[in-house]
Amino acid sequence: MSERLDVKKTYKLVVNGAFVRSESGRSYEVTSANGKFLANVAQASRKDLRDAVAAARGAHAKWWGATAYNRGQVMYRWAEMAESRRAELVEHVGLAEGLRKKDAQLRVGRAIDRIVWYAGWTDKVTQVLGGANPVAGPFFNFSLPVPSGVIGVVAPQESSLEGFVEAVAAPMCVGNSVVALASELRPTPAVILAEMTATSDFPGGVLNVLTGFTGELVAHLATHEDVDGIDVTGSDDLADELSRLAAGSIKRVYRERANDDENPLRRLRTFVETSTVWHTIGQ
């Protein structure tokens, strides 16, 4: 019996709940930390980015319209799926970041735990960030956190999975939809995790992940007028320029990422607006 050849996977874009090739037909090779071929990955174009933003906008009402409890269930299901494919994630994180298996296991475990953590916050954010305001009159006045809308994310370049989870799970937790640019050199763990959203009951388009050259795409993300906010923490060298570009469409620019020793609500508060509601007191 002749020796079989490996079937090399080409990782596709995750847009609107589907796995699609770039409309340009382009792809590029991704190597492991030691320079060995790892996979072919779709190279997204500006048109792919526009499609992803349109998908995110279409999904936002469905995601925000679901109950907070339901969003938590869906995100927890995502963590369950990641746990079931933990060995695959460990392999890719280890290869991408040049880690020993034990270290890769720790990082994947922390990433999955972080999804569970955010899943638990979905139905608590309003209680903590909202409140009843004192008024002089027969009225109720409430301040409620509402999602910003469509959030563009430039995922950290070095942390292929853990940093990606932190970047996308926080805005999703509070009801936003996301268009994320995965790490240019280490995209496969993020794409594998994003693929799981197709079987985790997320509405198609809540999480869209593009792979490709960050420098080619990020300016278009910053200037797209249907993107309500952009997190540029994963592209710190371009943060000032992206902030300038984003000003043209008056979108928020996020540049900080919460650490474990900081206020855990800081990251969640970043992606919400405050809506004030008045209601008469019934007799």
Q: From first to last of its 283 residues, what are the pLDDT tens digits of the chain?
A: 578 887 778 899 999 999 999 999 999 999 998 889 999 999 999 999 999 999 999 999 999 999 999 999 999 999 999 999 999 999 999 999 999 999 999 999 999 999 999 999 999 999 888 888 888 888 888 898 999 999 999 999 888 999 999 999 999 999 999 999 999 999 999 999 999 999 999 999 999 999 999 999 999 999 999 999 999 887 777 888 888 888 888 888 887 654 544 566 778 888 898 898 888 886 5
Please name which of 163, 159, 128, 150 lies closest in space to residue 268, comparing C-alpha atoms. Answer: 128
Is the torsion defined by CA of 63, 64, 66, 69 positive or negative? positive
Cβ–Cβ < 8 Å for 233, 154: yes
Edge to edge, what strands does the sheet with 131-132 contain? 131-132, 139-147, 272-280
Residue 135: Cβ within 10 Å count: 10
To the question of pTM greater than 0.85 for the whole model, the response is: yes
Which residue carries 């999703």 as its tokens?
A: 172
Q: Where are the beta strands (DSSP E) in 82-233?
A: 131-132, 139-147, 150-154, 177-181, 207-210, 229-231
Rounded distance, CA 272 to CA 233, Å? 18
Q: Domain-by-domain residue ranges, the chain?
A: 10-280
Residue 283's pLDDT is 52
DSSP result, 52-90: HHHHHHHHHHHHHHS-HHHHHHHHHHHHHHHHHTHHHHH
| DSSP state, residue 105 | H
Q: What is the pLDDT of residue 22?
A: 95
Q: Please give the Cα distance from 196 to 74 (Å, whole number).
A: 11
Closest to 148 measured CA to CA, from 125, 178, 181: 178
Question: Helix, strand, or coil here: 7?
Answer: coil
- Residue with the two structure tokens 């594998």: 192
Tell which residue, 97, 121, 78, has the closest CA to residue 32: 97
C-alpha to C-alpha distance for 169 and 227, rounded to whole angstroms: 17
| Residues facing residue 27 across a β-bridge | 42
CATH fold, domain 10-280, is Aldehyde Dehydrogenase; Chain A, domain 1 (3.40.605)
The token pair at 72 is 């938590």
What span, in angstroms and rounded, lies between the C-alpha atoms of 232 and 253?
Answer: 7
SS3 call for 210: strand
